[in-house]
Amino acid sequence: MKLLIVSFLFGCCLTYLLTLISSSIKAAKVLEDAMTTYAIMMVSSYEVSLISLEKEIISLKLENTQAERKRKIHNKAFEVFANNQIKQTLNFIPIIHENIINFKNFKELRTYIESKTGRNHD
């Protein structure tokens, strides 16, 4: 009788551990997919803002030096914005899952997306 109870408890523990491991693997995959989607959306918003900036430069008929200065200011401002957004997002991710995240700032995010898509986003 004792052997039966011990076997049952061992089976319950084994089933619990297998369930825990499989759901952890699934959660890690979902987190990785979510962060990839987040990175794609961030790069897309960067590209949209660049297009908007270029339209503004064309409509204002700015000289090359003014246009370059405006582009540098825009790039710096967007990078600061993106870094702040990434930092806020990473605060919600548990420390255990930090190894899943492939970027910590906007520059790493762009490199990550370039490696995923095979496309240069400059």
pLDDT tens across 69-82, in order?
A: 999 999 999 999 99
Question: Does 87 reside within a domain?
Answer: yes
Question: Does 67 reside within a domain?
Answer: yes
Contact 103, 112 (CB under 8 A): yes
Rounded-to-integer distance, Cα 50 and Cα 44, Å = 10
Structural domain of 104: 32-117
Question: Does 25 reside within a domain?
Answer: no
Give the pLDDT band of residue 121 (cuts 50, 70, 90): low
Question: Does 101 reside within a domain?
Answer: yes
The number of angstroms, rounded, from the C-alpha of 102 to the middle of its chain's C-alpha atoms is 7
Contact 115, 48 (CB under 8 A): no
Contact 79, 6 (CB under 8 A): no
- Total tally of structural domains belonging to the chain: 1
**Burial class for 43, CB neighbours closer than 10 Å (0-12, 13-18, 19+):** buried
Rounded-to-integer distance, Cα 33 and Cα 98, Å = 14
Length of the chain, in residues: 122
pTM: 0.78
Quick one: pLDDT at residue 93? 85
Which whole number is the average pLDDT over 6-30?
A: 90
Which whole number is the average pLDDT over 34-60?
A: 93
Question: Does 52 reside within a domain?
Answer: yes
Contacts with 111 (C-beta within 8 Å, 6 or more apart), sequence order: 103
Question: 122: helix, coil or strand?
Answer: coil
Question: Does 27 reside within a domain?
Answer: no
Question: Does 1 reside within a domain?
Answer: no
Share of the chain above pLDDT 70, in %: 97
Contacts with 36 (C-beta within 8 Å, 6 or more apart), sequence order: 116
Query: Average pLDDT, whole number, for the chain?
Result: 89
Question: Does 12 reside within a domain?
Answer: no
